[in-house]
């Protein structure tokens, strides 16, 4: 399979990223520019990534709650401010989000959190939550 270097986000991802806090715009732009990336510890390769969600409106939050994609009602989630204090992002392959590969999520999260760290930001990753695994979720330390 050819490895396609994306370098910048597609329109949909960029539109979602634009609803996020400046920290996310800054860091995620660096992350996508760094791909493809091979995690030095595990050899896991991250080819591409996309932004699933930034700010969530009341209707969108209640829908996510109803579908079980979020445990929060509107106003309880860091996605419910504008700009959003949380950003959902996942690695992609062949234009599709990878939802079910926790090893890939962990390697991606390390890249994202390290990039944030280098910019001076201390983010939390939803894959580290004890309550429930939220692999795509990153949030600012508030
Ligand atoms: Zn989230």
* pLDDT mean for each 10 residues of the chain (142 residues): 70 97 98 96 96 96 93 95 98 95 98 98 96 94 88
Residues with CB under 5 A from ligand 1 (ion): 86, 88, 137
Span from the CA of 41 to the centroid of ligand 1 (angstroms): 26
Span from the CA of 88 to the centroid of ligand 1 (angstroms): 5
Using only C-alpha atoms, what is the Rg of the chain?
Answer: 14
Taking only the tens place, the pLDDT of each residue in 3-36 is 555 589 999 999 999 999 999 999 999 999 999 9
CATH code for the domain defined by 11-54+85-140: 3.30.1380.10
Spatial CB neighbours of 97, under 8 Å, sequence gap ≥ 6: 50, 52, 90, 91
To 5 degrees, how large is the angle CA 92–CA 64–CA 14?
40
Structure tokens of 13?
């991802």
Q: How far apart are the first and last CA of the chain?
A: 41
Span from the CA of 27 to the centroid of ligand 1 (angstroms): 16
Span from the CA of 1 to the centroid of ligand 1 (angstroms): 31
């Amino acid at each position: 399979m050819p490895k396609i270097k994306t370098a910048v986000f597609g329109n949909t991802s960029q539109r979602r990223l634009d609803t996020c806090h400046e920290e996310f715009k800054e860091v995620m732009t660096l992350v996508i520019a760094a791909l493809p990336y091979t995690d030095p510890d595990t050899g896991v390769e991250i080819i591409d990534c996309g932004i699933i969600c930034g700010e969530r409106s009341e209707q969108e939050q209640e829908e996510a709650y109803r579908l079980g994609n979020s445990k929060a009602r509107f106003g309880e989630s860091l996605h419910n401010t504008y700009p959003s204090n949380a950003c959902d992002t996942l690695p992609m392959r062949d234009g599709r989000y990878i939802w079910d590969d926790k090893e890939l999520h962990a390697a991606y999260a390390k890249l994202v959190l390290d990039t944030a760290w280098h910019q001076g930001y201390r983010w939390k990753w939803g894959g580290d939550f004890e309550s429930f695994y939220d692999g795509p979720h990153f949030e600012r330390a508030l």
